[in-house]
Amino acid sequence: MSGMEYRLIQFSRNPMREEGRNIGVLAFDGSWAGFKSVGMVDGLDRPDLSRFSSILKDGYENLWVFGEWIEWFKALCVESDGNHHIIHEELDALESISPHFRATKGGYYEMDGERQETALEDLFSELVGQPSGGPKPSLRETIYQIMIRAEVTYRPEFEEDVEITIQSDEGQSSLVFTLDYFLGAEKRVGFKIIHFKNARTATLDAKVNDAIYTLSEAQKRGFLDKKRCVVLCDTPSAKRAAYIDRLQSVATVIDISKHRAYWDITTICT
């Protein structure tokens, strides 16, 4: 019966005061190595870093660190070719490289005809698992997590809750408007958020009218291109579907409940 060695990867916000939290597993058998961590989603090249938010608990600004370390562990698997000595040496030195990360001594997993990748998944499910969801996030929080996953929030030109003034040409008044999110630089992208679910009709009318006016005027004055005007929303009821048609006349509308939402955001922002 064959098997693999494995070592648990742990993270601690305050190494002097708290125990490490299991966030990943690195398994190896002498000729193969694999790594699985929180946030790594099958079929996706980039990890969903928002899943680390419940571990960090102090906001989203440091989530990029986990992305960097995930790549480090994946590279170790490739470069070591599963060599026990190389992996143990690198993981033993991990704590001296970053005190927030460490690798436990791990153990040995016996495989009964399983593929190595399947055994790694089993180890991860048993020893780590994904963080519990906790209270259902608000629409704004859900959208921000998608923006993190699309790696938009890491850009230096990213801003939230922005007031923009477009100076007038002769004979025109200045235009002052707000955007929920904004990407500056050469290829500007402006985002508006519309919450359909449970919204009062009067409030929804005001939000939709504001988005249409803001984005259409920004286009007329050459500040934003229509393809880079984005409305992020939840799924409207059948009675409110007409709002989507109005919004699509001035913007790209992305329903954040759809599976492709973050891909669509990534495409627009590149």
Q: Given strand 175-183, what is the order of strands in its sheet?
A: 158-166, 175-183, 189-194, 229-233, 252-255
Residue 198: the pLDDT is 83
pLDDT of residue 6: 95
Residue ranges of the chain that CATH labels 3.40.1350: 139-268
- Distance, in Å, from the CA atom of 158 to the CA atom of 173, rounded to the nearest integer, reads 27
- Enumerate the β-bridge partners of residue 33: 28
How does pLDDT run along the chain (270 residues), one tens digit per residue? 588 999 999 998 777 776 788 999 999 999 999 999 988 877 667 787 777 776 766 544 577 888 889 999 999 999 999 999 999 999 999 988 888 899 998 899 888 777 888 889 888 888 887 665 545 667 888 898 888 878 888 889 999 999 999 887 666 678 899 999 999 988 899 999 999 988 889 999 999 999 999 999 999 989 999 999 999 999 998 899 999 999 999 999 999 988 788 889 989 998
DSSP labels for 222-261? TSS-GGGEEEEE-PPPGGGHHHHHHHHTTSEEEETTSTTH
Task: Record the pTM.
Answer: 0.54
According to the model, what pLDDT value does residue 171 have? 62
Q: What is the pLDDT of residue 252?
A: 96
Tally DSSP H helices, then E strands, for the chain: 9, 10
pLDDT at 191: 97
Could you say which architecture CATH assigns to the domain 139-268?
3-Layer(aba) Sandwich (3.40)
Q: How far apart are CA 256 and CA 243, in angstroms?
A: 16
DSSP letter string, 43-78: T-SS--GGGGHHHH-S-STTTHHHHHHHHHHHHHHH
What is the sign, positive or negative, of the torsion defined by CA atoms of 19, 146, 239, 178?
positive
Q: Which amino acid is at 187?
A: K
